[in-house]
A and B are shown apart, each in its own frame.
Chain A
């Protein structure tokens, strides 16, 4: 069975400071990994995706994530947080090479950026 864990229910950071939202995964074999963001009353929006190759993935709105196979982690980062980054963030994964398309999502982390 596969799982994705987001150990923090909420992350608080001051505007202008770097932010990190943590994600660890347990997926058989190599994973595809994703980050999505959810704003109130809106659908999940894709931020970035790890397929293979470069462990540092750059995505939308200045976000990036680092794939670390030895630590089975895919933490989301941004060098300088904005108040508008405040939202609910979800990490998701699925095994490669299985044909499986069902993403397993973490429980989400609420990011609060204070002015």
Chain B
């Protein structure tokens, strides 16, 4: 069974540009979570999508947005990039049945903003 996949592996953007990151969950998983791991800040929750809807978001500005497609894959968009957006962005998927279920993580996308 394939795990969570993310693309691209690395992404280099210039300040002010937009970045798009993609995530494909494990087959059968309908919930997708996005997390940001910035240097020195630890892993922080960004967004949660379930059944095509945004269910919750962390303490991040509106220029962080995304969507979930009918096949449950997800896209994270970051507009008006700032230098501090440089981080490893991790996607996780979970079976929708109960929030206590285990989350499985992808390998991440390393975003560098110059």
A binds B: no
